[in-house]
Amino acid sequence: MHRPLRLTCSKDALVANWRTLAGRAGVACGAAIKADGYGLGALPVLDALYEAGCRDFFVSTWWEVAELGAVPADASLSVLHGLGPADIGPALQWTGARPVLNTVQQVERWKQIAPERECDVMIDTGMNRLGLRRDEAGALTGLNIHTLHSHLACGEEDHPLNRLQLERFRSAAADIAATRYSLANSAAIFLGREYSFDLVRPGLAIYGGVPRREAREQIRPVVRLEAQVVQRRLIRAGESCGYGGLFVAQDDTEAAIVNLGYADGYWRGFSGRGRAEVGGVDLPVLGRVSMDLVALSCDGASELAEGDWVSLHFALEEAAQASGMSQYELLTGLGRRFERLWH
């Protein structure tokens, strides 16, 4: 069935970004493939990165483990949300995945069902989201800990909490025995190798996001968004376009109405601010983005017609600034109506 929306994903860019991050970290480099590979497709991301040499992958829930199915025998899969009461069955079934235990209750649950199996553990160093507090670390006695994790709260910024969390994690690593230690996400990789420890677990930057200014010249865009024109129309001088009448034509204006809207993750924040292009011609968004449609100014594209494709400006850092959304929201919000194509 034909779809009027295309999301083209570059394996070359994905792999290049992963290799850049691995080289900068100087240690083993994993990949967060949660949220269906940040909206691009967890399976094709895993396949491409595994072929490139990645062996450590991270999802959020056991449901995501089941969606992936079996992973290669020499690959590591960690479940970041740990082991809830309803997760015991899946955890016993999917023996190739490890829970990242986050609470004393999860630790005790794991000891009861699989005391000999390896697990991961999250220790909180200042994020106050998931993880055991340092004064709860005594509960870890007897566990076979593969990787001890923590997570920075402010890695995207030059914030004093970064250094404080680094020192807290160093202290935890000295006291808690594990095979490996991991602190750095995409942003923390760009803070320096002292944050790398044994394993880094980037997400955003693999997919073309720019977590810190240091990454701007090193990370390649991975996704390209295209939409088909539904109709070309003339908006006469003085007429408005779209909900709320936010755009009023000062002169006669040619507009292309395209198959795209906030139901697809092209958010209302792009209203009057987003852009597309065709054949090198800039096509600004006119008025308000609606659920399924966007109006583009196409005065400079005289040949653009029904059924033609336009390419949306979607470099993540710039798109985030234009829309008011985070780069994470832009990626993971891309809807199911896009045909996802890998090349």
Known binding-site residue numbers for substrate: 129, 291
- In angstroms, the CA 113 to CA 105 distance is 13
Distance of alpha carbon 197 from alpha carbon 181, whole angstroms = 6
Distance CA 131, CA 176 (A): 14
What are the binding residues?
A: 129, 291
The Cα 290–Cα 136 span in angstroms is: 49
Tokens of 216: 């701007």
Give me 183's structure tokens: 């602190």
221-207-150-121 Cα dihedral, nearest 10 degrees: -160
**Known active-site residue 34:** yes
Exactly one of 11, 50, 111, 243 is catalytic; name it.
Answer: 243
Structure token digits, residue 55: 């062996």
- Tracing tokens 């794991």 back to the chain, one arrives at 110
Long-range contacts of 49-53 (CB under 8 A, 24+ apart): 49/14, 49/15, 49/18, 49/206, 50/75, 52/15, 52/18, 52/19
Q: Enumerate the H helices of 100-185 as residue ranges.
A: 104-113, 160-175
Active-site position among 11, 34, 111, 328: 34
What is the C-alpha to C-alpha distance for residues 32 and 260, in angstroms, rounded to an integer? 28
11 in catalytic set: no
Query: Which sequence positions are flagged as catalytic?
Result: 34, 243
